[in-house]
Amino acid sequence: MAHLLAPSLLAADFANLQRDVEMVNASEAHWFHLDVMDGVFVPNISFGMPVMEAIARHATKPLDVHLMIVDPDRYIQTFADLGADVLTVHAEACTHLHRTLSAIRKAGMKAGVALNPHTPVEVLRDVAQELDLVCLMSVNPGFGGQSFIERTYAKTRAMRSLLDEEGAPEALIEIDGGVGVGNAKALVDAGANVLVAGSSVFRAEHPLEAARALACF
């Protein structure tokens, strides 16, 4: 399958958020990526429900919501009601991951799990068939604009092998952090299906062209 591009709104201009949302609508990108941070699970606070509600009013593409928060189960139905199409939780934040994934799917969303750079892919073996998406963090979560961790290529290949072994080849692998034109093709070649790009799109001189370069190769 062709890969998908999900520009991360964490890198957008929040003083001109509607403009940047409409830019993504008009671009070759496929999804919006929304990072929700609580200042506890990660050392930063991004945005919450009111901002997501405003984004959803203008977005014409699926909303890929990444919860970097503790106890995400409390908000599953809330994000479904706000229009999330994909809801990703961190394995490190979920005591009962299988139950959480089941609740996400029951709420009508695709279920994703994110792994921090230090977390091995093996932790997902027992829930592989419950996954619609795995988000591999290629930077330490919490802030945009960080340098890409080179180990991510090997981790992507390992994740793809595990999903195939466990009978879940349709599950998407998403890479989040430090993605740009210099590594996008290598990540797709390693098995990635979804590329999250923040600074490399929104802070490019020509964002539409940047999005096209990352989406179309």
Catalytic positions: 35, 176
Q: Which residues contact 87 (CB under 8 A, 6 or more apart)?
A: 65, 67, 76, 79, 80, 104, 107, 109, 110, 111, 112
Rounded Cα distance between 61 and 63, Å, is 7
Rounded Cα distance between 64 and 24, Å, is 13
Rounded Cα distance between 166 and 182, Å, is 31
Structure tokens at 33: 């990526």
**Closest to 88 measured CA to CA, from 201, 188, 197, 196:** 196
SS3 category, 81: helix
Structure tokens at 170: 């349709």
Element (H, E) at 87: strand 86-90
SS3 category, 37: strand
DSSP annotation of 27 reads S
